[in-house]
Amino acid sequence: MLFKKKIHNCVIIGSGPSGYSAAIYAARADMNPILFTGFQPGGQLTTTTSVDNYLGFPEGVNGNDLMKNCKKQAERFNTKIINQSVNHVILSNKKGGIHRIFFSTEKCIESKGVIVATGSRPKFLEIDKEKQFIGLGISFCATCDGFFHKEKNVAVVGGGDTALEEAIFLAKICKIVYLIVRKTNLKASKILQNRILRNNNINILFCSNVTEIIGDNFLEGIKIFNYKTKTSRTVLISGLFIAIGHVPNTEIFKNELDLDEKGYIIVQKGKTITSKPGVFAAGDVQDSNYRQAITSAGTGCMAALDLEKYLYVCVE
């Protein structure tokens, strides 16, 4: 069953800063966008208690409130928002072709342009209280939440570049940083390893896993097990930063768009153009590096402008 049996100009798959930013720019360009919120309306920011590094909020802003405001702003320009997830797409290979987006049970919508803003999701340790304490001591972004742990003890889980970058950032403002590494060595680049070793307030715990999260209403500490010595220790911390990787939400695009080895959508350098004409990608789904709300919003704007130019050329 086709959605109103009409060919649209702009369908945005996913919300969050990139999706809503794309919607605002697309709507103001008279593309009459339709936005699917996905399984997590508002994206990862809805799980963050306070956002202090988003431009324009000198006192900070609650992550959930920020995304509610983004939604209201998109609706102000008559973006049609559908609170459902897209489960299947058939993307045209032709310039000016029609893309088909499937949702619900048997419903389908057709569009000349598609903006993919499905984001990514962090990998979890899969232990008790981990998801419960997100925003209450557990975080996946030191740049976002490190400030709240100034002069306190924190821990970072991971041994790759991201984990070491998080630890180095936190070491500048925190008292002690425990770097918990599952393996016997670090897998990050040598330059980062050297920087870690030069930090006196970073304690590296090799051959270790976090086995328990301690606290009733918020994080108070963790239990760490060293599988080499077969010993456990409890560390009191105010923040636990999990940096074992992210997974881009690109499952439905695996056979439709070019993806890199990690599953992120490949776009042209400096643009949001994907391997299919009329399809653009914005936010974390095409960014494995920065993963910040403000950069996601920026690429959402870019995607809408790229789509506007594409539609204009196709009409010509």
Catalytic-role residue among 10, 144, 284, 306 = 144
Helix and strand numbers (H, E) in the chain are 6, 19
Is 10 a known active-site residue?
no
Catalytic-role residue among 10, 70, 141, 174 = 141
Tell me the residue length of the chain. 316
Determine the residue type at 40: Q
Is 306 a known active-site residue?
no
Is 174 a known active-site residue?
no
Give the separation between CA 190 and CA 175, rounded to whole angstroms.
24
Catalytic-role residue among 10, 65, 128, 145 = 145
Place of tokens 């742990």: 149
Q: At a CB cut-off of 8 Å and minimum separation 6, what does 269 contact?
A: none
Give the separation between CA 142 and CA 240, rounded to whole angstroms.
9
Place of tokens 């010509």: 316
DSSP single-letter state for residue 262 = T
137: exposed, middle or buried (Cβ count in 10 Å: 0-12, 13-18, 19+): buried
Question: Which residue numbers are catalytic?
Answer: 141, 144-145
